[in-house]
Amino acid sequence: MDEKAIVKQIRFGSQKSGKTYTFDEEHDKTLPAEIWFQQSDEGLILFVVFYTQACRWSRCLGCNLPSKVSQHHVSYKFVMAQIDSLMSDPEVSSKFETISKVIVSNNGSVLDQETFSSTGLMYLISQMNLYMPNLSVLSMETRPEYVEIEELEFISRALEEADTPTALELAVGFEAFDNRIRNEIFDKGLSLEVFEELVLKMSIYGYHLKCYFMQKPVPGMSDEEAVIDIQNAIDYLARLSNKYDLHINMHLNPTYVAEGTALETAFRANQYKPPRLRDVVRAVIHSRNKPISVYIGLSDEGLAVEGGSFLCGEESSLTARIEEFNRTQDYTILEQILG
Ligand code: SF4
């Protein structure tokens, strides 16, 4: 597909969902869009968002992640330069020995070869094999339609050549469990059938799965409905994990009001409020004694409008305890928060 057709797809998606943000065309193409670290029960995680062409879907209701990247193609040479810059970043290189997981993102789909360079992906894997001796999981964010098992087999073989066995994880955005909310309101374009086909394919190889969910992703959802939606998602993922003997992590992001989206319009019209962190905890405690792990995302990535973040209120004091839960999966911490 040529670049113009892809730009058209991106614009179509943005317009369909009434997005008003612009893309970041001023960014230095030799630098990743963002890098940060997380601590989970899997150890130290490096999260890197490469600066590439934006997500081709681009239409999900509350998402303005594409605003951090370009609507135009970014050549493999720039992606390679971003990897060089990542590996020579003193904060990253000083942690090479302790990084146990890398999550690779481009705020879209890393496995979409039209927007993320294949050469860049291979180069990244070779650099990680060379310099991160204790890497145990490589996670790649993608929509399911870009997953080709042959490509995963190849990546997995390359990862096996490293000093430490490195498992492959696919990180898939699910956002809401309720079919109507996910596909009719949020416009995720993800059916359970497509998702379960992916799960079946992955289970044969033992790849790990991370599923992104958002608590209260759309206007018109009460706080209680939002809790129940996440509890239903937990039960669903637990069933799949048992059925396919699959390693599943739920990454739950409390929704923030992303600038330039329909959620911002609803927020300004007093028709939407972000979820309370206490309700997020109430939803997550449902995963206790279930065969999945849960990570609660606590970043609004600086993309929320003023007053539109779950981090704004007095509840932001809970973040340290929630981070402790993320590191330990100790459910007594969640019980204590709820009192
Ligand atoms: S949520 Fe993901 S798939 Fe949807 S528009 Fe945003 S980046 Fe694209």
Of ligand 1's listed atoms, the one at least distance from the Cα of 13 is 5
Answer whether 323's CB lies under 8 Å from 298's CB. Answer: yes
pLDDT of residue 310: 83
Handedness of CA 324, 328, 329, 334 (dihedral sign): negative
- 335 Cα to the center of ligand 1, angstroms: 33
Closest atom of ligand 1 to 66 CA is: 7
Q: How many domains does the chain have?
A: 1
Nearest to 257 by CA among 303, 220, 317, 315: 303
Tell me the CA distances in angstroms from 324 to 36, 168, 276, 280, 333, one per residue in order. 18, 25, 18, 15, 8
Q: How far is residue 279's CA from residue 285's CA, in Å, rounded to a whole number?
A: 10
- Which of 52, 53, 57, 140 gets mutated to test ligand 1 (max ligand atoms within 8 A of its CB)? 57
Q: 1: how many CB neighbours lie within 10 A of its CB?
A: 10
Q: Are 211 and 250 in contact (CB under 8 A)?
A: yes
Q: What is the residue with the minimal CA distance to atom 6 of ligand 1?
A: 63
d(CA 24, CA 330): 40
Three-state DSSP class for 94?
A: coil
- Give, using CA atoms, the residue closest to atom 3 of ligand 1: 57
Measured in angstroms, how far is the CA atom of residue 194 from the centroid of ligand 1? 17
With a Cβ cut-off of 6 Å, ligand 1 is lined by: 55, 57-60, 63, 65, 107-108, 143, 173
The phi, psi pair for 286, rounded to 5°, reads -65, -20
Mutate to test the pocket of ligand 1, among 12, 56, 63, 211 (most ligand atoms within 8 A of CB): 63
CA of 143 to the centre of ligand 1 (A): 8
Index of the ligand 1 atom closest to the CA of residue 188: 4
Quickly count: other Cβ atoms within 10 Å of residue 2's Cβ. Answer: 9
pLDDT of residue 303: 87
pLDDT of residue 85: 98
Supply the range of the domain harboring residue 82. Answer: 3-338
Smallest Cα–Cα separation from 27: which of 77, 72, 88?
72
CB 223 within 8 A of CB 275: yes
Q: Which two tokens stand for residue 203?
A: 């289970």
Kindly provide the b/e burial profile for residues 242-260, where b requires at least 16 CB atoms within 10 angstroms of the residue's own CB: eebebbbbbbbbbbbbbbb
Ligand 1 midpoint to CA 49 (Å): 14
pTM for this prediction: 0.95
66 alpha carbon – ligand 1 mean position (Å): 8
Residue ranges in the chain modelled with pLDDT below 70: 313-314
**């180069």: which residue's tokens?**
123
Apex 96 CA angle, 92 and 100, nearest 5: 105
Residues 60 and 253: beta-carbon distance below 8 Å: no
**What is the pLDDT, as a whole number, of residue 312?**
74
Q: How far is CA 155 from the centre of its chain?
A: 20
Ligand 1 atom at minimum distance from 58 CA: 5
DSSP 54: P
Span from the CA of 339 to the centroid of ligand 1 (angstroms): 36
Q: CATH no. for residue 8?
A: 3.20.20.70
CA of 316 to the centre of ligand 1 (A): 26
∠ CA 77-78-79, nearest 5°, is: 90
Q: Which two tokens stand for residue 160?
A: 């096996």
| SS3 category, 277 | helix
Q: For residue 13, how far is its CA from the centre of ligand 1 (angstroms)? A: 10
